[in-house]
Structure 1
Amino acid sequence: MPLNTDLKQLLKPYYWVNILLSISYVTAKRTGIICNFLFPESDCELDSRETEILFFLIIVVMLRTRKAGSVTMVNYLSSSFVYTKVANLILWLYADVRYGLPYGAMLILCALLLPEPTYMGPEDVTYFRGVQTLEEELKRHKTTTWIICLYAAWHPACVNFAPVFAELSHSYSLQNLRFGKLDVGRYSDVAAKYRIQDGPTSRQLPTVLLFNAGVEKMRRPQPDHTGKLQKFLFSKDNMKAAFDLDGLYQECKDKLAAAKAKKAEKTEKAE
């Protein structure tokens, strides 16, 4: 995501309000006028306990955001907001319960009124009805690469992933690179066919499959060499990296260009 797009995204209320909440305590403690008003008996310096809390916060944020695969400024901030706000809540409560309780109420209010923005734009997704329709499509167009999301409409992780998949489909779809979805909640034969546990506690929902020439080439999440399911965070960055969407897009685009050139050459010879 370009820097100007990141900055434009940060102008949305969700981000700047959460940024203010995340830096509220340090700002209040280090700004003379605010500090003297809120903490008249304080020297406006962070004590050892406050410094320890902030240092621990930095370590947690760095570890968790790296594990989440955050590579852009917006994603990094989104991943860190939970930890920074919890740390600020602890700091406000530590300083004075009378400040901590209103701060906690503000966190709840913001969570209700300002949910994180999600992609609301167009999508280029084909919705299949059962295994048979998918298999027919894979056999009919073997030159098409398909990225298929197996999901359940009632599963929270699938609901959260829906806008990400929609955005990726709109950005990367080509005539020979297509995106599809199949509801395993409605079509239980799909879960059986692709070995997906579809219960409420399933760790395999959603599952994204990559088909090339009608054959499954990879999936996420996937089991390791011991058969244990590897955890996969379905963020946009992780999807692009795991499935090499940029490389796949360029490869399919080159194939389309080559096919068109070949067709044009045959047309010229025929004339």
Structure 2
Amino acid sequence: MSIKADLKQLLKPYYLFNILLSLSYVVLKRAPGLCNYLFHVEECEFDGRETEILFFLVIVVMIRTRKSGSVSMINYLSSSFVYTKVANLILWFNADFLMGTVYGIIFVLGALLFPEPAYSGPDNVLYFRGLQGLDEELARTKDSYWLVTFYAAWNPACVNFAPIFAKLSTEYNLENLKFGKVDVGRYPEAAQKHRVNDSSLSKQLPTTILFKGGEEVVRRPAIDSKGTVAKFFFSSDNVRGAFNLNNLYEECKGAVKAKKKHVKRD
């Protein structure tokens, strides 16, 4: 996503609201006049406890966003909003119980009124309605490759990956190389069968699996024999490399041409 597209995305209510909530305490605590009135202090400075909380927040955000593979400004913000808002909640409660309660109410209402915007651009993705729909399609198209992403709508990493997966689907889609998605939040049985942990602390969301003949060929993030989940950053280049999409596309394209020649001869 370009900088221009990122800036346009920031104008959406979800991002504006969350940025305001994330900066609320720091801005108001350092604003002359407002800080004196709200916090009943003479100087607008952070005390020792506030400095510790903010310093800890910076460390947590840096670590978590690196683990989530955030590669753009929008991804970085989406991954950090939860931590910044929780830190603000602690700071507000530490300053005043009433203000902390008000912030908490705004926090909850904001989550209900301004959900994170889902990707709405072009794609060639088939959304499966549960395990049965996935199994039936894999069985029906055994001569095709299927690249299927198991995701949850509430997971920031899944939301960040959505436009990347959509763009890959428009670039590589063929009649024998198809792209699909399953919402494991709505269809947990699909996650259970394909060994995808769908809990809120899961390190497997999103999970993308390449199927051939209804069988799993490659998955990311990979899982070793001990059940350990390997780190994987879901960037466009990483997905291309992990699933060898360029060579797979040429292979499938060649198979389509050969099939058409065979049909013409008959």
Same fold flag (TM > 0.5): yes
Q: Report the equivalent of 2:44.
A: 44
Aligned-pair identity (%): 45
1:83-162 maps to which residues of 2 (within 5 A)? 83-126=83-126, 127=128, 129=133, 131=135, 133-139=137-143, 141=144, 145-149=145-149, 157-160=151-154
Could you tell me whether the CA contact under 8 Å between 1:120 and 1:163 is conserved in 2?
A: no
RMSD: 4.1
Compute the displacement of 1:158 (Å). Answer: 3.8
| Structure-2 change in CA distance of 1:90 and 1:42 (3 Å) | farther
Alignment partners' CA distance in 2, 1:172 and 1:35 = 49
Compute the displacement of 1:85 (Å). Answer: 1.0
Q: Report the equivalent of 1:196.
A: 194
1:68-79 maps to which residues of 2 (within 5 A)? 68-79=68-79
Q: Which runs of 5+ in 1 are unaligned?
A: 152-156, 267-271
* Amino acid in structure 2 at the alignment position of 1:134: L
* Amino acid in structure 2 at the alignment position of 1:228: G
Secondary structure of 1:147's partner? Answer: strand
Could you tell me whether the CA contact under 8 Å between 1:125 and 1:166 is conserved in 2?
A: no
* Amino acid in structure 1 at the alignment position of 2:138: L
Could you tell me whether the CA contact under 8 Å between 1:122 and 1:166 is conserved in 2?
A: no
After superposition, the C-alpha distances for 1:129-164 in whole angstroms (9 at most, x for unaligned) are 46464245232x5xxx43124x5xxxxx54447877
Q: Which runs of 5+ in 2 are unaligned?
A: 262-266
Could you tell me whether the CA contact under 8 Å between 2:191 and 2:197 is conserved in 1?
A: no
Secondary structure of 2:142's partner? Answer: helix
Q: Report the equivalent of 2:23.
A: 23
Alignment partners' CA distance in 2, 1:200 and 1:256 = 32
Greater C-alpha Rg: 1
| Structure-2 change in CA distance of 1:112 and 1:239 (3 Å) | same
Could you tell me whether the CA contact under 8 Å between 2:152 and 2:183 is conserved in 1?
A: no
Compute the displacement of 1:247 (Å). Answer: 8.6
After superposition, the C-alpha distances for 1:166-214 in whole angstroms (9 at most, x for unaligned) are 644541233264213579999x8x889xx63589879778753224698
Alignment partners' CA distance in 2, 1:60 and 1:251 = 39
* 2:4 is equivalent to residue 4 of structure 1: yes
Q: Report the equivalent of 1:65.
A: 65
* Amino acid in structure 1 at the alignment position of 2:236: K
Secondary structure of 2:178's partner? Answer: strand
Could you tell me whether the CA contact under 8 Å between 2:71 and 2:235 is conserved in 1?
A: no
| Structure-2 change in CA distance of 1:82 and 1:260 (3 Å) | closer
Compute the displacement of 1:92 (Å). Answer: 1.4
| Structure-2 change in CA distance of 1:251 and 1:76 (3 Å) | same
After superposition, the C-alpha distances for 1:68-117 in whole angstroms (9 at most, x for unaligned) are 11111111111111111111111111112222211111111111111111
User: Which range moved further: 56-65 or 209-218?
Assistant: 209-218
| Structure-2 change in CA distance of 1:249 and 1:6 (3 Å) | farther
Matched residues, number: 246
* Amino acid in structure 2 at the alignment position of 1:240: S
